Chains A and B, each alone.
Chain A
Amino acid sequence: MIIQDFNYALRLLAKKPGFTALTTLVMAAGIGLSVYMFSFFNTIIYKDLPFQDGDSLVLVSSSQNGKRESNGINLLDYAEVRSSVSGLSEFGAYQNASVNVSGRDGARRYKAIYTEANIFAITRTKATVGGGFSPTDNLIGAEPVTVIGYNMWQNQFGGEPNVIGQSLPINGSSHRIIGVMPQGYLFPNNTQLWLPLKVDYGQITRESAQIAHGIAHIHDSSTLAQVNQQLQVVMQRLELKHPDTNNGISAYIDSIPGSREGEAYSVIYSMHIVAVLILLLASINVGNLLLSRAVERGKETAIRVALGAPRSRLISQMLWESIIICSFGGLIGLLVLAWGLTITQSIVATFFVDPPSFWWTFGVDAYTMKLFFTILISTILVTGLLPAWKNSGGDFNSVLRDGTRGALGKKAGRLNRILVISEIFISVTVLIAAGVMVVAAYMQSNEDIGADIQNTLIAKILLSDDNYVSGEKKVQFAQTLQTSLAKGVGIEDVMISSALPGDWSRRTKFLLAGKEYTKDNNTSYPRANYIAIMPGALGTLGVELKQGRYFDSSDSGLEKKTALVSENFTKLHYPNESPIGKQLRLSDDDPADWITIVGVVENTIQGSREDKHIPTIFRPFTQDPRQQLTVAMHMSADVAKVTDTLRQTLMSIDPQLPSFQIETYEQNNARFTAPIQFVSSLVALFALAALVLAASGIYGVMANTISQRTQEIGIKRALGASEKTITREFMITGFTQFLIGGIPGLLAGCTMGFAMSQIFGTSNLAVFIIAFIMTFLIGAVVMLATYLPTRAALSMEPSEALHYE
């Protein structure tokens, strides 16, 4: 019997190949797109770590004035947390670091962590060769040891087991290798080297204590929220006890992948909502197409019922159609989705200097399959039950003897209205959210970072070796590098800075001379990017001078204290006076170290484009040398030539010193906006799909409704209604439906839009304009979808319309 219904449904579908192809494709698009979106975000945000108990691993971090910061927690605070918070166990702590390792073929830079001894136990992974750390390794004065990653073992030591006991020069000092971690173990973040974190808890004070990432396992019986509540209590106690250092500071835990989404919650939620809405839109469309077929067959169904067919058989038939269409469409969607995820892997790789987080493997995983089947079943139910609801509850007798006209039937008419209104609501919402995202991406990529980035090659150098500890050595290195490179082949200008405009830089808190800051509130100090740059480099980079002067040779000298500030610094702190000659000092520096402002330059953005409002303080590198430096070179030859010159120059200055991340300034800059551009193109694709689905769906329902009312139109015209009257009547109906669906859609879209604009810094006005345009667009679609079928119905002679079936 079921087989019979299945065959019947198959025959019906085969009879209308166009219809079947259309519905299948719509379903494929809906399922494919939404599962992709979920799978993508699951991978980058929620995916469990690939080792045992990875799902119970949480990160302990601090927050400031309720704002979650992902840069770790003060070790003394953490000690308190360890002893008083229940619900967590196996506490550990680590710090991220970059280290230079000299090998046979020169020096290289590696991602490393300084960690407490239990890191491998916490992550339930044993070394493949040798062993892990013991707690004594963490003591000050203990022999320097290290555990290396599988790749390093293979590449540097040829995978030989006798690597254990060998010595490895890390940052210029020798470390004994005690273990090799298994392949694929890169915890916490593409790490290749593990070093013991050395802390003397007897010596450190709250002011001088280091910051580290706390890590622990949460008990099955505890929730994140419960532990967070406890953490707040503990931290409040500390705040009362140490107001100087702990004012406004609290702590929180989050799952490790989850801790990465940071502030972007609203974007991610919006994207998930968009994904669900797309799916709903596709389901409504297919449901409606099936429904209109059911209506077409309404008389046939009525006759069958009259002849005694049980209702269950009719529903079973209709459900089979949905099952076939959804499953087939879903299968196509799944194939495209698998392909899309593979591509995503390679695209996402371009967002980062290092490979992306090691658990970011995009693909059809267990989660994706589970989600796929859940979604498949829900779409079958939505698309199948819509027509079944219409037809099975129907009064077949009235269908058979329906003598009146406009015989759409009240129920079908209401259902059609609901369909149109939902499609309007969904498409307006999705288009506004997508519009905000796309505009934000566009604005971010076209943000003026303050410097000219064309035809420039950049490279980073880390002066971490012991022989660069003193400031003089660093300044000397920078000066030597600058003069040698300037003489090099293919290089026009050399600009050395701790961070280039556009790139991440150190941030600092500072005090302005003559201003009052509440002593007991360390959060009241203003913040700024804090960059050390060689004299002359700002002008060459194209960062324009607005007031005062650039740095020059007179600024050189470690004892001198001068600074340049950005325009937004002036606007923020000296809105009505010239900042030239004013003084500032860093909050954690000696209170006597006042720095004098000698000039104002144009605004630069450092790091995330969302932080463009943060002002910048420049110091001469010759006064305030740094470990990390970036060298930028205007090129008069091709990239390969200049790279070669750089390598050779560096080799001649210090053969132990690697340069890394050599790339053009433009590449470096693009990376900051690549993720948002990727997500925004994704969203644009969704928006396009939403527009096509909604437009075709709305048109379909409207055309259907109006065509079913052709006779009614004929009657009204016979009674003297002019074309204008009838057109207006339909347009008003269409417009009413547009308002009923569009206004809530506008509100929902704006809600998401405003939430996202908070993060991207898009102006409210922009959100309003986008919302208006998108609503207008859908309005135009609705009016057109009403107008065209109305015109078609009116093009008939009234006598013809009267006899239309």
Chain B
Amino acid sequence: MSTALIKLDNIEKIFYTEEVETHALSNISLTIDKGEYVSISGPSGCGKSTLLSLLGLLDTNTSGKYNLANHDVSDISKSERARIRNMEIGFIFQSFNLISDLNVEENVDLPLSYRKDLSKNQRQALVQDALAKVDMSHRSKHFPSQLSGGQQQRVAVARAIAGNPSIILADEPTGNLDSKNAQAVMDLLDKLHSEGATICMVTHDPRSAEKAHRNITILDGQVISDQLNTIHDQQSLVG
């Protein structure tokens, strides 16, 4: 049984720059249930990244209502938002965004280090666990600059999942990778999903979108299509 994890009501996002208003998102209403694997696609500049930022509490919506796990998060404090990002959300970026001064282990430990409920040993265990899942344990002492792009992204995935977040948000996670490495990362997301993770992934690669079970398409800041992926029809929205 699925429950609504994310519920957007008439979300609008306007950027004000030098007297120009950019309506990045308008009238978005959307529900994403726990355990769903959603792809978001659309032409460049349509608002995909903006939507993902709002979902991940990296930015605030101009108007509308955002319920995350039955809590209204449109109007909560900055520190509360930080806490939710830390505990509930894992990010994967197109450009990996590892911290170059930290080694692989420390990068993965970074979100855990912001939590107060974990002991050093617990954190250590979670880090090793996550690295094992992405098959990067053997590189735990390396620095990002010593890794290939695919390896860096696998470490980024490990960092996103280390704290067992309820949602994984990925913005074109394979955009900077060759097809072989891209395939490896997609397989990883697949595996995570099969283990119960909720995933929202921005992509404009149709082959990546195919992996998702629900495809949302955006045009000019509005959802123009939202359909279940027929290839995976054995797992429906109300599965």
Report the minimum CB–CB distance from B82 to chain A (whole Å). Answer: 4
Please tell me if the beta carbons of B86 and A720 are within 8 angstroms of each other in the complex.
yes
B66 within 8 A of A: no
Which B residues are CB-close (under 8 A) to A718?
A: 56, 58, 85, 91, 97
Partner of B145, one of A404, A413, A712, A719: A404
Please tell me if the beta carbons of A405 and B97 are within 8 angstroms of each other in the complex.
yes
Contact mask for chain B residues 83-95; partner A; CB cutoff 8 A; 1 contact, 0 none: 1111101010101
Given A716-B110, A718-B85, A798-B58, A723 and B78 touching (CB < 8 A)? yes
Which A residues are CB-close (under 8 A) to B82?
A: 717, 720-723, 725
Q: Which of B44-102 contact A (CB under 8 A)?
A: 49-50, 53, 56, 58-60, 78-79, 82-87, 89, 91, 93, 95-101
**B: interface residue count bin:** 35 or more
A18 within 8 A of B: no
Complex Cα distance, B95 from A711, in Å, reads 12
A406 within 8 A of B: yes
Which A residues are CB-close (under 8 A) to B85?
A: 717-720
Which A residues are CB-close (under 8 A) to B50?
A: 799
Residue of B nearest to A724 (CB): B79
Which A residues are CB-close (under 8 A) to B159?
A: 719
Complex Cα distance, B163 from A718, in Å, reads 13
Contact mask for chain B residues 141-154; partner A; CB cutoff 8 A; 1 contact, 0 none: 00011000100100
A575 within 8 A of B: no
Given A404-B145, A711-B97, A802-B97, A720 and B58 touching (CB < 8 A)? no
Q: Please list the 3 inter-chain residue pairs (A to B) with the smallest Cβ-Cβ separation, ordered nearest first.
A: A720-B86, A404-B100, A799-B53
Please tell me if the beta carbons of B114 and A398 are within 8 angstroms of each other in the complex.
no
Contact mask for chain A residues 688-721; partner B; CB cutoff 8 A; 1 contact, 0 none: 0000000000000000000000011001111111
B222 within 8 A of A: no
Contact mask for chain A residues 397-410; partner B; CB cutoff 8 A; 1 contact, 0 none: 01000111111011
Which A residues are CB-close (under 8 A) to B144?
A: 403-404
Complex Cα distance, B84 from A539, in Å, reads 83
B208 within 8 A of A: no
Which B residues are CB-close (under 8 A) to A715?
A: 93, 97, 99
Which A residues are CB-close (under 8 A) to B176?
A: 403
Which A residues are CB-close (under 8 A) to B60?
A: 797
Residue of B nearest to A715 (CB): B97
Of the listed residues B58, B79, B176, the one surrounded by the most CB atoms of chain A closer than 10 A to its CB is B58
Can you show 23 pairs from A to B with CB atoms below 8 A apart?
A402-B100, A404-B97, A404-B144, A404-B145, A407-B100, A410-B100, A413-B101, A717-B85, A718-B85, A718-B91, A719-B85, A719-B86, A719-B110, A720-B85, A722-B114, A723-B78, A725-B82, A797-B58, A797-B59, A797-B60, A799-B58, A802-B58, A802-B93
- State how many residues of chain A have any CB contact under 8 Å with chain B: 28
Which residues in A have some Cβ–Cβ distance to B below 8 Å? 398, 402-407, 409-410, 413, 711-712, 715-725, 797-800, 802
Complex Cα distance, B100 from A147, in Å, reads 83
Please tell me if the beta carbons of B58 and A721 are within 8 angstroms of each other in the complex.
no
Which B residues are CB-close (under 8 A) to A799?
A: 49-50, 53, 58-59
Report the minimum CB–CB distance from B80 to chain A (whole Å). Answer: 9
Residue of A nearest to B102 (CB): A406
Which B residues are CB-close (under 8 A) to A797?
A: 53, 58-60
Complex Cα distance, B144 from A410, in Å, reads 13
Please tell me if the beta carbons of B114 and A725 are within 8 angstroms of each other in the complex.
yes
Which B residues are CB-close (under 8 A) to A405?
A: 95, 97-100
Given A403-B176, A404-B98, A404-B144, A722 and B78 touching (CB < 8 A)? yes
Please tell me if the beta carbons of A721 and B79 are within 8 angstroms of each other in the complex.
no
Please tell me if the beta carbons of B99 and A406 are within 8 angstroms of each other in the complex.
yes
Complex Cα distance, B57 from A96, in Å, reads 87
Residue of B nearest to A718 (CB): B91
Which B residues are CB-close (under 8 A) to A717?
A: 58, 82, 85
Given A719-B110, A719-B111, A406 and B78 touching (CB < 8 A)? no
- Beyond the given pairs A403-B144, A405-B98, 8 more chain A to chain B contacts, judged by CB atoms under 8 angstroms and listed by A's residue number, are A404-B97, A404-B152, A406-B99, A718-B97, A720-B85, A720-B86, A722-B78, A802-B97
Which A residues are CB-close (under 8 A) to B115?
A: 720
Complex Cα distance, B88 from A719, in Å, reads 10
Complex Cα distance, B19 from A239, in Å, reads 93
Report the minimum CB–CB distance from A689 to chain B (whole Å). Answer: 35
Contact mask for chain B residues 101-123; partner A; CB cutoff 8 A; 1 contact, 0 none: 10000000011001100000000
Please tell me if the beta carbons of A398 and B110 are within 8 angstroms of each other in the complex.
no
Complex Cα distance, B84 from A715, in Å, reads 15
Complex Cα distance, B114 from A798, in Å, reads 16
Residue of B nearest to A406 (CB): B99
Complex Cα distance, B81 from A717, in Å, reads 10
Report the minimum CB–CB distance from A504 to chain B (whole Å). Answer: 66
Which B residues are CB-close (under 8 A) to A398?
A: 145
Q: Which of B157-175 contact A (CB under 8 A)?
A: 159
Complex Cα distance, B91 from A797, in Å, reads 16
Report the minimum CB–CB distance from A799 to chain B (whole Å). Answer: 4
Please tell me if the beta carbons of B86 and A721 are within 8 angstroms of each other in the complex.
yes
Report the minimum CB–CB distance from A793 to chain B (whole Å). Answer: 14
Please tell me if the beta carbons of A719 and B114 are within 8 angstroms of each other in the complex.
yes
Which A residues are CB-close (under 8 A) to B86?
A: 719-721
Complex Cα distance, B97 from A404, in Å, reads 5
Report the minimum CB–CB distance from B111 to chain A (whole Å). Answer: 4
Complex Cα distance, B176 from A98, in Å, reads 93
Partner of B99, one of A402, A712, A720: A712
Given A404-B98, A404-B99, A721 and B59 touching (CB < 8 A)? no
Residue of B nearest to A712 (CB): B99
Report the minimum CB–CB distance from B36 to chain A (whole Å). Answer: 21
Which A residues are CB-close (under 8 A) to B149?
A: 403
Which B residues are CB-close (under 8 A) to A721?
A: 82, 86, 114
Which B residues are CB-close (under 8 A) to A712?
A: 99
Given A718-B58, A799-B59, A403 and B111 touching (CB < 8 A)? no
Which A residues are CB-close (under 8 A) to B87?
A: 720
Q: Which of B217-231 contact A (CB under 8 A)?
A: none
Which A residues are CB-close (under 8 A) to B114?
A: 719-722, 725
Complex Cα distance, B79 from A722, in Å, reads 6
Which B residues are CB-close (under 8 A) to A406?
A: 99-101
Report the minimum CB–CB distance from A295 to chain B (whole Å). Answer: 15
Which A residues are CB-close (under 8 A) to B97?
A: 404-405, 711, 715, 718, 802
Which A residues are CB-close (under 8 A) to B58?
A: 717-718, 797-799, 802
Given A404-B96, A799-B58, A719 and B101 touching (CB < 8 A)? no
Complex Cα distance, B168 from A718, in Å, reads 12
